[in-house]
Amino acid sequence: MADAEPMTGWLRGVLPLALAGVLAEGERHGYALVQELAARGFGTVRGGALYPVLGRLEADGAVEARWEPGEG
């Protein structure tokens, strides 16, 4: 999958589980999640795919979101 291509069906199907697996190892912000997924071979996951999945995981009670001010 090229970085510029939209998310494929298989990635859409496994993204919630992949995110849960990464988050089970410790808290991470969105950018760190994208980096970790890329390092694990998932390619580039864009925010437009990432944040809706995280929102559904939060609504299901699987994760808890916390907003913090940035350092920049």
State percent of the chain over pLDDT 90. 61
**Nearest residue to 44 (alpha-carbon basis) of 8, 70, 68:** 8
pLDDT band (50, 70, 90) for residue 7? low
The count of C-alpha atoms lying within 13 angstroms of the C-alpha of 7, restricted to the half-sphere facing its C-beta, is 18
Tokens of 66: 């916390």
Q: pLDDT tens digits, residue range 8-45?
A: 677 778 999 999 999 999 999 999 999 999 999 988 89
